[in-house]
Amino acid sequence: MKSGWVDSEAQTAIDRYARAGIGRDLALRVYTTRLLGRDPKLVLHGGGNTSLKTTMPDLFGDQVAVLCVKGSGSNMASVEPVDLPAVRLDPLRKLRARGALGDEDIVRIQRASLLDSAAPNPSVEILLHAFLPHTFVDHTHANAVLSIIDQPDGETICSELYDGRASVVPYVMPGFLLAKTAADIHDAKPAVEGLILHKHGIVTFGDGAREAYERMIALVTLAEERLQKNRKAVFVTAHLPQAIAPVAAVAPILRGACSRKVEDSEGSWRRMVLDFRTTPAILNFVNGGELVRYSQAGVVTPDHTIRTKNWPLVTAAPEPDRMDDFKRAAGVALAAFVERYQDYFARQNARVGGIKRPLDPLPRVALIPGLGLFGLGRSKREASIAADLAQCAVEIVTEAEAIGRFQSISEDEMFDMEYWPLEQAKLGAAAEKPLAGQIAVITGAGGAIGAATASAFAAAGAEVALLDVDRRAAEDKAEAIGAAALALACDVTSAASVREAFARVVEAFGGVDIVVSNAGAAWQGRIGEVDEELLRKSFELNFYGHQRVAQAAVKIMLAQGTGGCLLFNVSKQAVNPGPNFGPYGLPKAATLFLVRQYAVDYGAAGIRANAVNADRVRSGLLTDAFIAERAKARGVSEKDYLSGNLLGREVTAEDVAQAFLHQALELKTTGDVTTVDGGNIAAALR
């Protein structure tokens, strides 16, 4: 591992922050924190933390000694001075004399000691930083170090490897006791460059930012070099089937198995979003004959527990022509996982006096022999964090097994960490949105109604895939929604294009729960004289397009076994034909009956089918020129055409989006058409 320190970049940081009135030390603290944060072999997702001891003026202008320590859960790679809240150092240091200190007291004292009372919560490892005397303290969960300390004889290996340069601290749960133990061990040999926290990570320190940082690089490099010695081959591959089913076939089954019915809300499911990973290293790991031993041994560092749980779900290898077997086996594996988790909770909760409330018992990582691994979470973001940490664990365990045998902390220690209130606080207590965990596909998403619907569903917590025949339009709208929104080209008049798009959605998120079949285009012509080709073209898009999309979605929904929701844009023409609008209205009328047919055929599977009958929404389909033409056909002004309804109000794309959203949330409604037209008795359904 090479040092990333560059003198000119360090100077740039000093100069840049000086303009904002920030001193040299804090500027360099930010600079090296980012250097550490940008290397995934050192830290991932809020893991690791750094600090600086300095002086700063308090609200009265008096200079006080402070500890600037990284805020809990903030990302080191993009840290700014504001992410290193300043805490008065003297009250923190006084705590070292205590025999014991509760978590709530620590939080209270640190918040009361913040120079800025509105600052973020400091890292849960604040006291570790406070009790060490050095100006700069850096802490990471470096992969190479974990590979050598997650061993039965990890402490011996480290004592030999770091002889005199770093002291080894036996495993103690993070918090007050670890801080006290680490400081005592440091003080016994104050000349060391760092501390190895057994089964947890590494701390380095120094008087300067560069010194602390480069000691980290040097000590981690020693671990990397140690891993190259006396290696044995890992892992011996298990006997696997000749062919393995693709992700698009496996993910919906896995996702279905990992979903749970919500007890007090019939028809409602608690679902997971999936994030798939595969690399040669992951395949080597999941294909190993001893997978069950080394994958179930526990976490690589206690910090991962809260996001990955202590062990992953392991399924059988999925064979393409035996997916029913895979589905059955996945169900059995999940039931065993849940039972094991519940037993673990009951056993451990009894040990701590029955004071804890259980987290959900579902896995956050699934290992699929022959295929790869999935991260699971209530959002794409959570799923990808779990997948990142799982991928990191694969590397650490593989390296650990190459020089010995991977060993984690004990079950008691994992439970104490998983159910530590300060750790659970990292997950945030915000209420979940109504569509959290659901995946929505919107066709025609490059247009006004499709884009507004995608935005409304994303705002309600769904992961959204925006499909449009115009890829660029879908990408533009997805970008406006946010990084997690997926944009795909899809021509609904092509069965292959629809199949491909749905496979991509499943690969990205794990499945499909809601489809808004919205793509359409309007053609006009007097029905007695219209060219048959034009009529067929309209049917291809305005009827068969909906059928292809619904068919692709239903296949995935049935594999998941958790119901689903099909929503169609049928337009007012399906109910109330306008003059010369037959080529558009006829396939839309067929689509209205398609909705009812899906409601009839798939109600028993919990799949709902509903439609929105909207009228006169300004969009790509209803352009200004088109509005002028339709107004002329009806013999009214353009303004009257748009708001020519009982309420006298123009209907917008957002109004239609809200109607789709309501239908997605109405778990007891199917075969319904919701009218969004400002009131038009001639188009009212009866």
Q: DSSP letter string over 70-126? A: PBTT--GGG--GGGS-EEEHHHHHHGGG-S---HHHHHHHHHHTBSSTTSPPBPTTH
Catalytic, 341? Answer no
> 661 Cβ partners below 8 Å, 6+ apart?
453, 456, 457, 460
Name residues whose C-beta falls within 8 Å of residue 657's C-beta, 6 or more positions apart in sequence.
449, 452, 453, 455, 456, 457
For residue 194, state whether it binds Zn ion (rule: CB under 5 A).
Answer: no
Contact window for Zn ion (CB under 5 A) among 4-12, 28-36, 105-113, 199-207: 199-207
- Whole-angstrom Cα Rg for the chain: 30
For Zn ion, which residue of 37, 154, 201, 585 counts as binding (CB under 5 A)?
201
Q: How far apart are the C-alpha atoms of 605 and 512, rounded to whole Å? A: 15
How far apart are CB 291 and Zn ion at their closest, in Å? 27
Q: Is 520 within 8 Å of 542 (Cβ atoms)? A: yes
Taking the complex as a whole, how short is the minimal distance between the CB of residue 200 and Zn ion, in angstroms? Answer: 6
Question: Are 199 and 216 spatial neighbours (Cβ–Cβ below 8 Å)?
Answer: no
Residue 574 burial class via C-beta count within 10 angstroms: exposed 0-12, middle 13-18, buried 19 and up: buried
Q: How far is CA 534 from CA 449, 522, 584, in A?
A: 24, 11, 10
Choices 195-203, 243-251, 275-283, 496-504; region in contact with Zn ion by CB under 5 A: 195-203
If one asks whether residue 175 binds Zn ion (CB under 5 A), the answer comes out as no
Residue 658 CA to residue 625 CA, distance in Å, equals 26
CA–CA distance, 647 with 461 (Å, rounded to integer)? 32
At 164, which amino acid appears? G
Q: By the 8 A CB rule, do 134 and 184 touch? A: no
Neighbours of 400 (CB within 10 A): 26
Neighbouring-strand partners of residue 68: 52, 86
DSSP letter for each residue of 443-512: ETTTSHHHHHHHHHHHHTT-EEEEEESSHHHHHHHHHHH-TT-EEEE--TT-HHHHHHHHHHHHHHHS--
Q: What is the DSSP letter of 36?
A: H
- Binding part of the chain for Zn ion, among 201-209, 241-249, 337-345, 521-529 by CB under 5 A, reads 201-209
Q: Give buried/exposed letters for 65-81 (b at 16+ CB in 10 A, else e).
A: ebbbbbbbbbbbeebeb
The residues, ordered by sequence, that sit 6+ positions from 218 with a Cβ below 8 Å of its Cβ are 193
Going by C-alpha positions, the residue among 608, 590, 508, 592 that lies closest to residue 553 is 608
197-205, 533-541, 585-593, 606-614 -> range binding Zn ion (CB under 5 A): 197-205
Name the DSSP letter for residue 362: -
Q: Least distance (Å) from Zn ion to the CB of residue 3? A: 22
Q: Omega of the bond prior to 60 within 30 degrees of 0, cis? A: no
Nearer to Zn ion, 201 or 606 (CB): 201
Helix/strand/coil for 519: coil
Phi, psi dihedral angles at 666 (to 5 degrees): -85, 90
Q: How far is the CB of 420 from Zn ion (least distance, A)?
A: 12
134 vs 616 by CB, closer to Zn ion: 134
E strand spans, 246-353? 260-261, 269-270, 273-277, 313-314
Q: Which of 419, 584, 598, 641 is catalytic?
A: 584
Pairing of strands 486-489, 463-468: parallel
Largest Cα–Cα separation, the chain: 98
| Number of chain positions touching Zn ion (CB under 5 A) | 1
Q: DSSP strand E in 548-636: where? A: 564-569, 607-614
Where in the sequence numbering do the catalytic residues fall?
584
Residues that bind Zn ion (CB under 5 A): 201
